[in-house]
Structures are given as C-alpha cells and as structure tokens.
Structure 1
Amino acid sequence: MQVQTRVEIFEEIFLVFLGLGTLVGVVVIAYTLYNAYKYRDNGDSKADEDLPTLGELPTGGQGGKKLFLSFGLSAIIVISLVVWSYGMLLVVEDGPDTPDEEALEVEVEGWSFGWDFAYENGIETGGELVVPADTPIWTEVTSRDVWHTFGISELRVKADAIPGETDETWFVAEEDGEYLIECFELCGFGHSGMTADVDVRSEEEFEQWVDEQLTMDITLEDEAEERVTDGFELELVHEENDQFEEDLSFTYADDEFENGSITIGEIEQGGPYELTITSTDDEFETVEETVDFTGPTDETYTLELGAEDDETDDEEEDEAETNDEADEGEDEETDDDNEGGDE
C-alpha cells in the first residue's frame, strides 16, 4: 500500500501555493499593465470623457460589477485554499490511514545530549534509529531531563520532547539511506552535538537486522573454566510474560547445546528475561539471573558444584590428608627402628 509521505504532502502544499500565487500575480500584473496602457494620458482625451481621477474609487463604468466580481473570485480562491490546506495538514497531524500491523512504533527519549530508541519488540538502540523504507513509523517522543525537540529536516519531522509528557508524530522514508536527527530546542552546552542517525533499509535488510538484534549466545562453564556439556536444563521466561498474548517462556535441554554453547534466535520479543539453569543430576547449583535482552547478547555462566559434591570433595581431601599423616608416622617409626638397630 502506497503511503503519501510528509515530504510529499508539504511539497504538494508548496507547489499549489506557488502555482496559484504565480497565476494570480501574472493576472494582476497583466491587468494592471493593460489598464495602464488603455488609460494612458496621450493628450487626445475628449472633454466629456468620464476618466477616473486620483483618489476616486473605481467602478469600472458598470456600477462596480468588475470590482465585486474580483472580490468574489478572490474570496472563493482564498477560502478554497484554506479548506484544502487544512485537510492536508490534518493528514500530517493524524497520520496515514494504514493498518496497525503495517506500521512500526518506536519510543524516542531525549537526554543531554543524545537520543535513545526503544522498539515495540523490545529492541533498544542509542544514537541510531534503524527503520524500513516505505513503512509508516510512529514515534512517541519524550525527554529524560530538560526540554528538547526531535527533528529530521529531510523528512519534515519535528516533535517536542518534554519531561513527563509524550508527543506523537510519524514519518515515512521512501528511499534507503541515512538521515540526520537533530535537536531544535536550545538545551545546553552540548545542544549542537545532540544528533543521531536514521538508517533506512529495505524490508529484507531491516528484518535481517531485527534477527541479529534478537540473538542470544549462552555458554556454560564449570569452576575450572571447562565447558559443561550435559546434566543441565536452561529456562528463559519474560518478566512480563502475562502481558503478552503468546507464551514467552522457552526451555532448552543439554542436548540442544553444542560443546556447552547455544545460539538462540527464535525469540521475537526482547526485554528482561528471567534465566534459570538447573542441574538434572544435582551436580551443580541452580543459577538464577536476569538477562536484559534488548540487543545482541553474549553471556557466559559458571556452574558451581552442589553442596553434596562439595562435601564429597572435602571428605576426599580429609582422607588424603589423613593418609599422608599416617604415611609420615610410619616413616618416622621406621627411622626410629633403624636408629635402634644401629645402636
């Protein structure tokens, strides 16, 4: 579905005003020159000729019909132009009439002195807004500290970023490329450097970028930094799982790992996840962590031996020490016996 962009709307308004203004200007100047030539003083005027005098309201010689006609046409043109422009600006204000699933929502937060972006699927970026081409992008703009103004000049976008408030706007980028985000509100000494990039990609490239952002690599090691390959189960549960229509809980057995590592790319919703690693044979202690899955994640977790294994190790160490002490005692008795024999 082809969506009319803000750039196209403002260009259309500009061209209509330019064309109509040019037409009116040409007509007025031409009519002025015509009357200046027609009523020029060439010295041949008759004594009884009714010519306009300086300061007199012209009537056109027909009871002012031309004057009222010109006023009427001007009023129709101006009112029509105002109504049409207002309708076009309503489209700019309300946004394109497209299904929600075809639009992309992004939360924009300004701070001194930069921009952060949070996507509806949980991805978060700083300093760069990646969007697909030919897709309506809805932004909810706010500020973390002082007043800022979010603006993309090339895409005709501008919205106030006010602490505690949200200003909604939209845009559509037709062509791939990079555009500059700037702050248009004097906000402090770093105002001129408060910029970010809009990276517009094709639909396929954008989907690939999303898949890269929602990729999680997990590696499991023991206390000796050796890879753990069996005897465990890993579970991921979104902290706000009950707020989504789908179940955002995932479980992975040890046989799904390759040499103690796994790459998870099936999760389509980012955000905070509760990670739990449990031992299936009670060899390791349970690991419970929170993973902030807002971009590419690479984590390594150490599995510590369980309490029973620790006691077994301690007993083995104690037994080894006892054996060593016994061996030392026997060696001392042997030495004593040898000394007695020598005497």
Structure 2
Amino acid sequence: MSGQERFDRLRLIRSPRIGPVSYRQLLARFGSAAEALRAIPMLAARGGGQARVADAAAIEREIAATRAIGARYLLMGDADYPALLAEMEGAPPALIVRGDAAIAGRPCIAMVGARNASGAACRFARILAQQLGDRGAVVVSGLARGIDTEAHRGSIDSGTIGVIASGIDIGFPPENAVLQEDVAQRGLLVTEHPPGTQPLARHFPARNRIIAGLALGTVVVEAAPKSGSLITARLATEAGREVMAVPGSPLDPRAQGCNLLIREGATLVQNADDILEAVGGLDPRMVRQGSFDFIGQHVSSDVADTDRAAVIALLGPVAVAVDEIIRLSGLSPAIVQTVLLELELAGGLERQAGGRVSFVS
C-alpha cells in the first residue's frame, strides 16, 4: 500500500457518515480510496442528500499529532493489523496504537466486568488474568475502573492489551493514567479515535466491539444486567466467539448479569484452565469471517428508480436485518447494498449491530 493510498484511506474513514461497512463497500467498488473519495458526493446525491469528505489538511495534522506522541497507525490490510479483529464485521479500518502490536497475534482472552466491582471479584479477576498470562494468553480489557483495572494489573507482566474510548493521548479514567501508560510501554494500547478525542458515552459500545473482536473469547467476571460488559458479551456472540462467565451470589446485583449469561448458555468458568479449555475447542470455521470481499461483491453501479423505491419502502425507524430486506424485496444483494450505501452517505440511514439498518430518527 503506497503512502498516498494510506493517507487517502485514513481520509476516507474520517469523512462524515463513513463507517466500517460503507468504507469497505466503497473500497471494493472503486478500487482505491482516492476514487471512493471522488465518488462520495455523487452517491449521496442519489440518496437524496449531500456529503463531504474529510479535509486533507486536517488529516495531515492528525498524522503529525499521532507521530508526536509516539503512536502509529494500523490500517486494515497491514500485515500487523490484528487478524482476529479483521474477521469481525464492523472492524475499524484504522487503529492507532502504542506498544508491541505483535502480542495481538498471540491467543487473546477478553476480560470485562463491573466498574463498581466487589473486592472479591477484583481479586479474582487479577488472579485469573495472571493465571492466563502464565499459560501464554494475552488479556484484553478496556482500562475502566474495577474489573478492567485488575485484569490489566494481573497480566501486565505477561502481555496485556488495553482498548480505550478516547484519543491515545487521553488518560481515562484519570486515576488509571499511570496504568494506561504502563500498558502502552509493556503491552499494547489501542484506539480507533484521533488524538485529542474525549471519551464520550457513545464511544464505549464501539470500544467494546474491538475488545470482543481481538479475542478468541470473552469472560465476564462480575456485571449487572444491561451493563456495558453484557454488550461486549453480546458482540462476542454475534462474532461467533466464545462467551464465558464467572458465577456469583444471587444476593449480589452485580452478579446477576453473569448468572443470566450462564442461564442463556455462556460457559461457566472458575479458573484459567476452564477458559483455555473453552476457547481451545473453538472451531475456526465458527468464527464469523470478515466481509471485506463479500460486501464488495454486493455493490452495484446502477440502480433503477423502482428498485430504489422498493428498498426504501421496507425501511423505517425500527431496525431490520439487511438479509430480510433482500428477501422481502426480491432484489439482488448488489442492488440492496447500493441503495443502503447511498442513503447512508446522504445521512438518512443508520447501521446497527447485527447487520441491521434503520432510518435516522
């Protein structure tokens, strides 16, 4: 990949309304990021709106800021882009990292849990992470308070990956700034956001998909129902990865999420051997494969007005699976994906987890 193509790809993913799916579709259809950037206004116009591309000068400033703090980019397609993450639908086209990217190529286990975790759960998470590291696994977590913190502390000597929801130069939460720097120095620190990005609430579910995507499986140590940890577990399930949970007392609300996961089919684990046994039996064919080439085959250059209207008629404020739109419309995947791409670039379509789409509310 030439330096100019790398620059253009970063500019493409930084352009408004371009997400991982539309990024892949555009590259597959037009062959290069430069051609995709030129085509965006035309495609948005077909979708009934307007679109602009990221300013080249802004991308130059971002690259300079990234280099100034000792970080670098991993673009999808690079040899050291994490292979398991690349297989995940919605994988970020561009990562910014500090540390040793090679450790992402070792067997990785995600460990997540409550921010307000109990003392017993924190101690257990730290010991469990240390046991995993002693057995050659890399622990992935989100550098949050509670379970995440202890997971990193337990695995810092053997290999740990911290995924953050801010720019790589922003320490969050503040009390973990030293730990975050330690992870960057001795392990791997990962984000998809440009330097200076603050950790907004909407960034955390996106961060969770990276945590799940980097790992063979996700283990939840302690979590309440409807917590961010359960979001990570759901994303792991959707990606075909193993989901595991540590059981807890039914009297503790912080254990209800784990107990619920086990009741719904998650693997009950009590030690590192249980975890490694669970992921060791994972058939690689069960892991959802990345859709870079697959999506590209489903983009068409021409769509009839009647076909476009048929797809739009099936959309609404409630999310519907793209496969269902294809089935109900009777149209080819190429035509349906093209209409959805045009609507997304025009600002009228929102993509959601699980390959679902809806009109922007």
TM-score normalized by the length of structure 2: 0.22
Highest relative contact order (Cα 8 Å, sep 6+), 1 or 2? 2
Say which structure is richer in helix: 2
Say which structure is richer in strand: 1
TM-score normalized by the length of structure 1: 0.22
